[in-house]
Homo-oligomer: A and B are copies of this chain.
């Protein structure tokens, strides 16, 4: 049998061909490296490409090449955190997620460019669909590498909107699981309150496969209390572009045509209150965790400004913000009553032109803060670039959310 080019396969497909003896991990990794070599002059997704393929265990990801956002420590490859001062920095140990990946048989193909310390100052990566546009960030290289078929999956992180937004801009799935579901030890910490490890993939089954590796013993999933999709425009709705708003409405119409119950009701006020609060908690956490680094090393003006904003938030104000966050989390049962998932924009529109900004994460702030699982999916396009929406599930209902997405997307793709 003559197979398609290995770099074009999903992880699920590639794993099947490898198990059947029709493909080896070495062949697949070499094919991905060749694809990277051909495309990297335009896309610039990779901070480091691993030239060597070693034998890997016979786990569920045996022979599957994975890209890692360069804020994830690797003992065998440099980890620069998107910061010039850390160029060539070599961690001593693997992050916990890397340990799980290696044990599952994955090939760590390399490290992908990130915005500086997973915040806002962008790296060199361009959007593979139109290189005049940003891929989004901060998980820029991971999203672009998956979208451009360099690897079937790549890990990224989200503390504000760093998975969902680049996933949307590049037209792939960004999956941010429930806060705490995947291990964060060994990741560049920017917020102990909100840092979340996530996965980019071109196919939902790949996300289920990766979930079985990164959450080998997940907490039991709650039963969904309903089948409805709740429209979650949030008070940020006015910041969405006309094309994005139209795409959202067309998705709602398609859901209704497919017989999926879609409802609208005001979000609990405690959740809407989070938008400014999340911004403040993030700045404060960045001030605490990255401030000491910024005092010792040269960093971008954007990071200096973010740290300065965090420094202005008093302990009293921070405690009040954490109380508002706790109240928002307490409102989640009310939010999800009778609801299978929420539907929201994934970003304010298409990827902005230019590489200076990674775009606005406003549609992710609430959900990252309360820690609900989120999955972006492409829906429509505008000016040749993809638009994206996201489905948001109840905490710990991660696999249910992925299954719901599989079901819904197969029903409405018209």
Residue contact A212 to B410, C-beta cutoff 8 Å: yes
Q: How far is the CA of A21 from the CA of B21 in the complex (A)?
A: 36
Residue contact A406 to B205, C-beta cutoff 8 Å: yes
Residue contact B1 to A129, C-beta cutoff 8 Å: yes
Chain A residues 90-111 with CB under 8 Å of chain B are none
Q: How far is the CA of A384 from the CA of B20 in the complex (A)?
A: 7
Residue contact B403 to A1, C-beta cutoff 8 Å: no
The smallest beta-carbon distance between A186 and chain B, in angstroms, is: 24
Instruction: Give the chain B neighbours of A129 by CB distance below 8 A.
Output: 1, 22
By beta carbon, the residue of chain B nearest A22 is B129
The smallest beta-carbon distance between A134 and chain B, in angstroms, is: 15
Instruction: Give the chain B neighbours of A60 by CB distance below 8 A.
Output: 413-414
Q: How many residues of A contact B (CB 8 A)?
A: 52
Q: How far is the CA of A320 from the CA of B110 in the complex (A)?
A: 66
The answer to whether residues A4 and B13 also contact, given A20-B378, A380-B19, A414-B60 and a CB cut-off of 8 A, is no
Chain A residues 333-382 with CB under 8 Å of chain B are 378, 380-381
Question: How many copies of this chain sit in the oligomeric assembly?
Answer: 2
Q: In this assembly, does A230 line the interface, its C-beta being within 8 Å of a C-beta of chain B?
A: no
Interface string of A266-309 (1 = CB under 8 A from B): 00000000000000000000000000000000000000000000
Residue contact A15 to B386, C-beta cutoff 8 Å: no
Residue contact B21 to A381, C-beta cutoff 8 Å: yes
The answer to whether residues A58 and B410 also contact, given A5-B5, A8-B8 and a CB cut-off of 8 A, is no
The smallest beta-carbon distance between A401 and chain B, in angstroms, is: 12
Residue contact B414 to A59, C-beta cutoff 8 Å: yes
Q: In this assembly, does A49 line the interface, its C-beta being within 8 Å of a C-beta of chain B?
A: no
The smallest beta-carbon distance between A369 and chain B, in angstroms, is: 29
Q: In this assembly, does A116 line the interface, its C-beta being within 8 Å of a C-beta of chain B?
A: no
Q: In this assembly, does A192 line the interface, its C-beta being within 8 Å of a C-beta of chain B?
A: no
By beta carbon, the residue of chain B nearest A148 is B1
Q: In this assembly, does A323 line the interface, its C-beta being within 8 Å of a C-beta of chain B?
A: no
Q: How far is the CA of A128 from the CA of B3 in the complex (A)?
A: 11
Residue contact B384 to A16, C-beta cutoff 8 Å: no
Instruction: Give the chain B neighbours of A85 by CB distance below 8 A.
Output: none
Give which listed residue, B2, B39, B411, contacts A2 with CB less than 8 A.
Answer: B39
Q: How far is the CA of A129 from the CA of B16 in the complex (A)?
A: 14
Residue contact B205 to A410, C-beta cutoff 8 Å: yes
Interface string of A56-99 (1 = CB under 8 A from B): 00111010000000000000000000000000000000000000
**Interfacial residues, chain A to chain B (CB-CB below 8 A):** 1-5, 7-10, 12-13, 15-16, 19-22, 38-39, 58-60, 62, 128-129, 147-149, 171, 202-205, 208-209, 211-212, 258, 378, 380-381, 384, 386, 399, 403, 406-407, 409-411, 413-414
Query: What are the 8 A-B residue pairs with the smallest beta carbon separation, nearest first?
Result: A4-B8, A208-B410, A60-B414, A209-B410, A8-B8, A1-B129, A1-B128, A212-B411
* Complex A-B: 20 CB contacts under 8 Å: A1-B147, A2-B38, A4-B5, A5-B8, A12-B409, A12-B410, A12-B413, A19-B381, A20-B171, A59-B414, A62-B414, A203-B205, A205-B205, A208-B410, A209-B410, A211-B410, A212-B410, A399-B407, A403-B407, A406-B406
